[in-house]
Amino acid sequence: MNFFTKDKPYNTLNQYYKEKYHKKVAKIALNANFTCPNKDGKKGYGGCSYCTPLGSGDYAGNINHSLEQQYKEIKEIMNKKWPDALYIPYFQANSNTYASVEVLKNTYEPILNLDKDIIGISIATRADCLPDDVINYLNELNKKYPVQIELGLQTSNEKTGIRINRLSTNQEFISSVKKLRENNIEVVAHIINGLPGETEEDMLNTIDFINSLDIQGIKIHSLLLLNNTKLYEEYQNNPFHILTIEEYVDITVKQIRRLKDTIIIHRLAADGVIDNLVAPSWSIRKLVVMNEIDKKMRETKAYQGIDYIPNQATPH
């Protein structure tokens, strides 16, 4: 089943939730102050080279406030815009399954029990942070609240993965997706277009890789070059190409055309903190970017999956 509309020839998360819950569903991004095996020395230090010290949680709640306070503060703001909305707490910053099961229980469950308007939980993490005991716990939690796991892939090109200091492999990603789906847990893959050295073919190969797995959702956005990151240091010493808005739109439309039409698109543009953003400057105009994607889809009479190639997986 797809959730295309007249204006959106692809599956949007908003339309998917509208069909499922008949209400607006909003995510509340929280910072639970987790760390990452790529930061604490288990695998490496410094994190992925594009990642800020906040671990991609720049728009999450205030780390100095309790999770309950973060949730209430953000819900109050959202409630003014959508007074009848339902909510999903989104544990966004760093790797939110990188802890013992006891810690995870004490982190997730008080929030889930906080509000009658909560209808599920979304958890961002890495594929190498899902040991069997955590998977088992998520399976139990999923019986009470729908659990959505967002896995950072970024690219299927292992050489790029090394360059950006990802320090996790395609095989780890494949294994974690398999375990999650065996427990009926929804998986959302996160990818970045315009990583240093990547070609259009690399970015389309990443879509083929995702198509080959049992993935329910995807987030796509452009690379954001930010202050206080290892990638910016690299860029200063050896500048690499940053996608123009035209290039990003063109590549993303090709990816949507190639993407299996059962996959829900959760995001097509990034939210960079303006004060930290070095490039691309066009990324701050999120609605413009999304409108340009929609415009190109309409002009070319394209829709999600029109160029889907079954069984076309190209991991590197």
Residue 217, judged by CB atoms within 10 A of its CB (0-12, 13-18, 19+), counts as buried
Per residue in 168-227, pLDDT tens?
A: 999 999 999 999 999 999 999 999 999 999 999 999 999 999 999 999 999 999 999 999
Decide if 64 is inside a domain.
Answer: yes
Decide if 235 is inside a domain.
Answer: yes
Decide if 127 is inside a domain.
Answer: yes
Peptide bond into 280 cis (omega under 30): yes
CATH number of the domain where residue 194 is located: 3.20.20.70
Decide if 311 is inside a domain.
Answer: no
Q: What is the mean pLDDT of the chain?
A: 92
Instruction: Measure the CA–CA gap between 190 and 124, rounded to whole angstroms.
Output: 9
Is the CB of residue 67 less than 8 Å from the CB of residue 6? Answer: no
| pTM of the shown model | 0.93
Decide if 312 is inside a domain.
Answer: no
* 194 Cα distance to chain centroid: 16
Per residue in 7-23, pLDDT tens?
A: 799 999 999 999 999 99
Instruction: Measure the CA–CA gap between 316 and 313, rounded to whole angstroms.
Output: 10
Per residue in 44-101, pLDDT tens?
A: 787 888 887 654 545 667 888 999 999 999 999 999 999 999 999 999 988 999 999 9
Instruction: Measure the CA–CA gap between 12 and 272, rounded to whole angstroms.
Output: 21
Domain count, the chain: 1
Residue numbers of the domain that contains 291: 13-299
